[in-house]
Amino acid sequence: MEPIADATAATTEPLVIMGAGLVGSLLSLYLVRRGHPVHLYERLADPRRAGLLEGRSINLALSDRGWRGLAGVGVTDDIQKVGIPMYRRVMHDQQGQLTQQPYGQEGQAIFSVSRDSLNRTLLDLVEAKPEAQITFGQKLTQLDLPGRRLHLRDVASGQEYDVGYQRLFGVDGAFSAVRGAMQRLDRADYSQQYLEYGYKELTIVAGPGGAWQLEKNALHIWPRGNYLMIALPNLDGSFNATLFFPYEGPLSFESLRTPDEVEHFFADVFPDAAPLMPNLDTEFFAHPTGSLVTIRCWPWSYQDTVLLLGDAAHAIVPFYGQGMNAGFEDCTVLDRLLNEIGETDWTRVMDEFERLRKPNTDAMAELALYNFVEMRDRVADPRFLLQKRIESKIAAQYPGRWVPLYSRVTFSPDTPYAEAWAAGQRQEAIMAQLMPHIQAEADYEKPEVQALVKEQLAEGDAQ
C-alpha cells in the first residue's frame, strides 16, 4: 500500500539531487512519492537525446535487491520490459565445450538490463512527475557546504550560477563532485583501489531474424585464468560482451596493437565467440578501455544537509553484479528510515543510514573482488564445479541451515551483505574440510561424508 506523504515534512523548496543516473533517478521517485518537489542536476547530456554514453553501455544484472527498490515506487512492470531473465552461468572453455551452473533454485534468475535502456526508462518515469525537474549538462564546479550553495556551470553555454538548497543528495557516481567537496573536510577518509585490469565493450551480433546465437537466458563466461570475457543478452538478439583484460603484460591491452593481432588472439582464445563478432576489429580499437575501481569513503553525510548514495559513497567492481542493486537498496533503506524516524530529524536519519549501510557496502566490495577470481578461473575448474553441486545437495538436505553465498547475496534481500559475506566464509571453511573426502558427486551419500556434514553444520551452528 502506498504510504501517505507526511504533509509536515513536505516543503515547497525542492530537494536537490546531483546526478540523474540510475540511483539518482530512483531516489527522486522515492522523494516525490513522499510529497517532495525535487530538482535533479546532471553533468552529462540527456541520454535519450545524446545516444549511448561512451564507456557506460555495459549491461547490468538486476537482482532481488534491485527489484525491491523498483517495487517500492511501483515501476517493476516498466523495467521488466527492458530485461531478460538469466537462470544460469554457461562457461565456455577454449575448445568450445560448455558447462553450466544454475544461479539459484529452479525459477530464480537475475535479469540482464542495458544500462542505457534502464536509465532512459527511469528518466521517463521521473519526467512524468510534475513535482520533478531535471536539468542536464550542468557541471558542479564548487560546493559551499556551510552556505548550502551549489556553484554550477552550464556545459553548453559556459554560464555559471549558484543554486541554494535545503537538502542535497550526492548521487553523481564514482568520481562524485559532491564527495570531492566533502573530502576536503577535517577527518574525511577516502581511498580508491584500481585493479590492474581494464574492460572493453564488444558485441556478439544477432543471428538471422534477430535470433540469439548463444543461449538467451544465461550469462556466458569465457574464463581464461588471468582474464575473462562475459556476455549478457539484449532484447534485439545481440549480446553485450565485455573483455576484462590486464592493461599491461604479455597478453594485455598493451600487447594487442593491430587488427591482425586482435583477430588471431580471439580466434585462438575464444574460438566459439570470435565468428559471432564481425565488428571486432572496429569495436576493439574504437571503444574506450574502462577502468575498474573500488572506492571507500567516510563520512557519507555533512550535518543534516548533504548525503551521499550509490557509487558516490561506495563504488565497487562489477563482478558480483551488485553495484546498481546496492545503490537501489540505498534508496529503500533511506525511505524506510524516513518512515521510522520521520523527516523532522534528518541528522538521525543520515547517521543511521551511514551506520547501517557502510559495513554492508564494504562487505559487498570484498565480495565483488572475491567473485572476480571465481569468474576468472575457478569456474573453469572441475573441482570447483563439483563443490558447487555438493553445496546444492547440502542446501536441499538442510534448507534454511545452508544457503549458498550467491543466493544470500542475490536472492535474499533481507540478508545484509555483511551477514552474507560472514556466512559465506564459514561455509567455505566447512567445504575445505569436506571436499578432500569427495571425488565424485555420488560420494556425498557415503555415511562418513554424511556424518562429517552433520558434524560441521553443528559446529557452525554453535559458533
What pLDDT shows up at residue 106? 87
Percent of the chain with pLDDT over 90: 85
3-class DSSP assignment, residue 325: helix
Gap between the Cα atoms of 64 and 307, Å rounded: 25
What pLDDT shows up at residue 56? 46
Contact 91, 223 (CB under 8 A): yes
Q: Tell me: the pLDDT tens digits for 50-96?
A: 654 444 457 899 999 999 999 999 999 989 888 999 999 999 999 99
Distances (CA, A) of 461 to 268, 353, 405, 426, 454: 48, 30, 16, 10, 11
Q: Tell me: the pLDDT tens digits for 1-32?
A: 344 344 344 457 899 999 999 999 999 999 99
Q: Tell me the sheet residues that pair with 306.
A: 168, 302
442 DSSP assignment: G
Q: What DSSP string runs through 358-385?
A: HHHHHHHHHHHHHHHHHHHTGGG-HHHH
The residue with cell 521517463 is 124
Instruction: Give the pTM.
Output: 0.92
What pLDDT shows up at residue 57? 55
Cβ neighbour number for residue 332 with a 10 Å cutoff: 20
Q: Tell me the sheet residues that pair with 110.
A: 86
Joined together, the cell numbers standing for residue 275 give 565468428
Gap between the Cα atoms of 245 and 225, Å rounded: 11
The CATH classification number of 15-84+111-191+294-371 equals 3.50.50.60
3-class DSSP assignment, residue 63: coil
Gap between the Cα atoms of 399 and 407, Å rounded: 12
Higher pLDDT, 204 or 459: 204
* Domain layout of the chain by residue ranges: 15-84+111-191+294-371, 193-291, 382-462
Taking Cα atoms as reference points, which of 106, 184, 115 lies closest to residue 146? Answer: 184
Gap between the Cα atoms of 102 and 328, Å rounded: 25
The residue with cell 544484472 is 61
The residue with cell 546498481 is 324
3-class DSSP assignment, residue 236: coil
Q: Tell me: the pLDDT tens digits for 122-181?
A: 999 999 999 999 999 999 999 999 999 999 999 999 999 999 999 999 999 999 999 999
Contact 380, 402 (CB under 8 A): no
Contact 399, 113 (CB under 8 A): no
| Torsion 195-197-201-203 (CA) sign | negative
* 304-325 burial: b if 16+ Cβ within 10 Å, else e: ebbbbbbbbbbbbbbbbbbbbb
Per-residue pLDDT averaged across 424-433, rounded? Answer: 93
